[in-house]
């Protein structure tokens, strides 16, 4: 082979948790995704931010760290896996393989463009500080139950 111009893109299928006891995973280890919306790195950074905030929380100790990691998982998994799914959908839209379920007379190009635009807005929305607050609330609940 003179040139290697094709390679496989491996993804992590939807995991049930990003935290297992005192072990947590983040970034591509947790949610490696297709590259179609260029969001793998930002999801890894969002993970790192929430995880860092939970690990430095004043109530995080050797006894409570499992609850801290569970709280990280409770806010990050749904979002990261949503972006993963969106990336797959964008790949289908960009290659015209998405089933658009068009109404009669609808313009497929206009529908595709609108979906691509809407997807970009969703990824950009959300407030990471809100996610941290939610994780902190869950942390308190998990400690109380443990």
Ligand X SMILES: Cc1cc2nc3c(=O)[nH]c(=O)nc-3n(C[C@H](O)[C@H](O)[C@H](O)COP(=O)(O)OP(=O)(O)OC[C@H]3O[C@@H](n4cnc5c(N)ncnc54)[C@H](O)[C@@H]3O)c2cc1C
Which residues contribute to the site for ligand X (CB under 6 A)?
9, 27-28, 35, 38-42, 44
- For 55, the token pair is 């690990």
- For the range 56-59, what are the long-range contacts, defined as Cβ-Cβ under 8 Å and sequence gap of 24 or more? 57/136, 57/139, 59/139, 59/140, 59/143
Smallest separation (angstroms) from ligand X to the CB of 57: 23
Residue 76 Cβ, how far from ligand X at the closest point, in Å?
A: 13
The residue (of 4 and 110) whose beta carbon lies closer to ligand X is: 4
Q: Which is nearer to ligand X, 82 or 142 (CB)?
A: 82
CB-nearer residue toward ligand X: 91 or 134: 91
Specify burial of residue 89 (Cβ count, 10 A radius: 0-12, 13-18, 19+).
Answer: middle
- The CA-atom distances, in angstroms, between 24 and each of 18, 27, 37, 54, 67 are 6, 11, 25, 12, 11
Instruction: Compute the least distance from the CB of residue 86 to ligand X, in Å.
Output: 13
Q: What are phi and psi of 29, to 5 degrees?
A: -60, -35
* Least spacing, CB of residue 122 vs ligand X, in Å: 15
Nearer to ligand X, 34 or 138 (CB): 34
Number of Cβ within 10 Å of residue 78's Cβ equals 10
CB of 109 to ligand X, least distance (A): 24
| Complex with ligand X: residue 46 or 66, whichever CB lies closer | 46
């Amino acid at each position: 082979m003179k040139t290697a111009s094709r390679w496989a893109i491996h993804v992590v299928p939807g995991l049930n948790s990003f935290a297992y006891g005192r072990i947590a995973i983040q970034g591509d280890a947790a949610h490696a995704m297709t590259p179609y919306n260029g969001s793998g790195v930002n999801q890894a950074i969002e993970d790192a931010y929430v995880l860092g905030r939970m690990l430095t929380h004043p109530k995080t100790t050797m006894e409570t760290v499992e609850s801290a990691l569970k709280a990280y998982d409770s806010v990050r998994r749904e979002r990261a896996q949503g972006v993963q799914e969106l990336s797959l959908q964008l790949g289908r839209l960009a290659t015209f393989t998405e089933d658009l379920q068009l109404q009669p007379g609808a313009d497929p190009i206009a529908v595709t463009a609108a979906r691509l635009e809407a997807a970009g807005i969703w990824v950009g929305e959300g407030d990471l500080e809100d996610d941290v607050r939610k994780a902190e609330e869950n942390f308190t609940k998990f400690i109380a139950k443990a």
